């Protein structure tokens, strides 16, 4: 029988599936690390699936630093691929020698071992596994996938964490936010005519750490009468499903491992709430 020529469309479809999986995996790990820094679980935020595919383009080609990082990743990948093939040969040979020794020992000393009788068939099945019997392309592809996932995981996780730490501090790229609401709507915020007045809490109840709420009361506006490095700037982390996730940015000098508290505000449906966003803080008078 004559060999049929490869189906180009099938190959293209397979390539698209692989690339899509790589992009989605990278984007998911990045956002998992990013929002995890703010103590938010990415699976609860109901983010659009399409957005996970766009994040890797920023990681790989967002700026010159990202392009350089991508080139370094490619060089490392090729290096590990060449070294890995040699390691696979050595490990496979060593495993086959070791498994023969262990298999013989277990057969002779079964009654002396502490394994339960039900576990013995599984142990022997593992020891009888001959990796050399696997098709070489299968072993190569498995190692290729393993190395790819490890490198993409490290890249996405480290960059997501680094970007979250940057956005939590004074050099944040997130928009500055000002929320204007009626006095009775939320138990935070200042009276614009008298900044010394705390919110009225006669009808409010608190569950949890009261001190944390009191700390937020002292940080709920940007006091421009204090030195600039001590000013509190509120930023918008996320606007999703009718909820605003806002937080007071950390001042300079705070340890990079510290996360700011995140406040979730429900969007108003009555038109009595206003959100102002700005790329930077207006200068003081």
DSSP per-residue codes, 232-274: --EEEEEEETTEEEEEEPPPTTS-TT-----EEEEPPSSS--E
Look at residues 2, 94, 35 and name the one whose alpha carbon lies nearest to residue 259.
Answer: 35
Q: Which residues contact 144 (CB under 8 A, 6 or more apart)?
A: 81
What angle (nearest 5°) sits at the alpha carbon of residue 119, between those of residues 117 and 125?
120
Is residue 236 within 8 Å of 168, Cβ to Cβ?
A: no
| Look-up of token digits 């979250």 | 164
Is residue 128 within 8 Å of 103, Cβ to Cβ?
A: yes
Task: Classify residue 279 as exposed, middle or buried by CB count within 10 Å of its CB (0-12, 13-18, 19+).
Answer: exposed
The pLDDT, as a whole number, for residue 129 is 56
Tell me the per-residue pLDDT of 25-52, one tens digit each, with 9 for 90 and over: 999 999 999 999 999 999 888 888 888 8
In whole numbers, what is the pLDDT of the chain averaged over residues? 78
Token output for 197: 């007045």
Kindly tell me if the per-residue pLDDT of 144 is higher than 70.
yes
- Measured in residues, the chain has a length of 285
State how far the Cα of 161 lies from the Cα of 216, in Å rounded to an integer: 24
State how far the Cα of 270 lies from the Cα of 99, in Å rounded to an integer: 71
Is residue 217 within 8 Å of 231, Cβ to Cβ?
A: no
**DSSP helix/strand/coil, 43:** helix
Is residue 137 within 8 Å of 10, Cβ to Cβ?
A: no
pTM of the predicted model as reported, rounded to 2 decimal places: 0.76
Is residue 247 within 8 Å of 234, Cβ to Cβ?
A: yes
The pLDDT, as a whole number, for residue 49 is 86
| DSSP letter (8 states) at residue 220 | S
Helix and strand numbers (H, E) in the chain are 6, 5
- For residues 215-226, give the mean pLDDT: 79
Kindly tell me if the per-residue pLDDT of 167 is higher than 90.
yes
Kindly tell me if the per-residue pLDDT of 237 is higher than 90.
yes
Kindly tell me if the per-residue pLDDT of 93 is higher than 50.
yes
The pLDDT, as a whole number, for residue 105 is 59
When pLDDT is cut at 50, 70 and 90, the band that residue 1 belongs to is: very low
When pLDDT is cut at 50, 70 and 90, the band that residue 164 belongs to is: very high
């Amino acid at each position: 029988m004559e060999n049929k020529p490869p189906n180009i469309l099938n190959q293209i479809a397979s390539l698209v599936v692989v690339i899509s999986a790589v992009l989605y995996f990278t984007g998911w790990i990045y956002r998992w690390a990013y929002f995890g820094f703010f103590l938010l679980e990415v699976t609860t935020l109901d983010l659009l699936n399409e957005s996970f595919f766009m994040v890797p383009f920023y990681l790989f080609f967002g700026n010159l630093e990202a392009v350089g990082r991508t080139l370094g990743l490619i060089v490392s990948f090729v290096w590990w691929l060449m070294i890995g093939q040699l390691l696979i040969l050595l490990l496979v040979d060593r495993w086959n020698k070791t498994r023969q020794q262990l298999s013989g020992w277990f057969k002779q000393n079964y009654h002396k071992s502490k394994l339960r009788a039900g576990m013995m068939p599984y142990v022997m099945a593992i020891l009888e596994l001959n990796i050399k019997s696997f098709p070489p392309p299968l072993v190569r592809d498995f190692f290729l996938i393993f190395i790819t996932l490890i490198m993409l995981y490290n890249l996405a996780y480290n960059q997501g964490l680094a970007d979250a730490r940057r956005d939590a501090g004074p050099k944040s790229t997130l928009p500055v936010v000002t929320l204007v609401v009626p006095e009775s709507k939320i138990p935070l915020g200042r009276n614009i005519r008298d900044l010394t007045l705390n919110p009225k809490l006669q009808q409010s109840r608190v569950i949890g750490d009261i001190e944390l709420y009191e700390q937020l009361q002292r940080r709920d506006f940007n006091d421009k009468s204090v030195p600039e490095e001590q000013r509190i700037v509120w930023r918008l982390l996320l606007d999703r499903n009718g909820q605003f996730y806002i937080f007071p940015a950390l001042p300079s000098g705070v340890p990079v491992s510290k996360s700011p508290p995140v406040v979730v505000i429900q969007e108003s449906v009555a038109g009595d709430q206003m959100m102002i966003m700005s790329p930077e803080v207006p200068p003081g008078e």
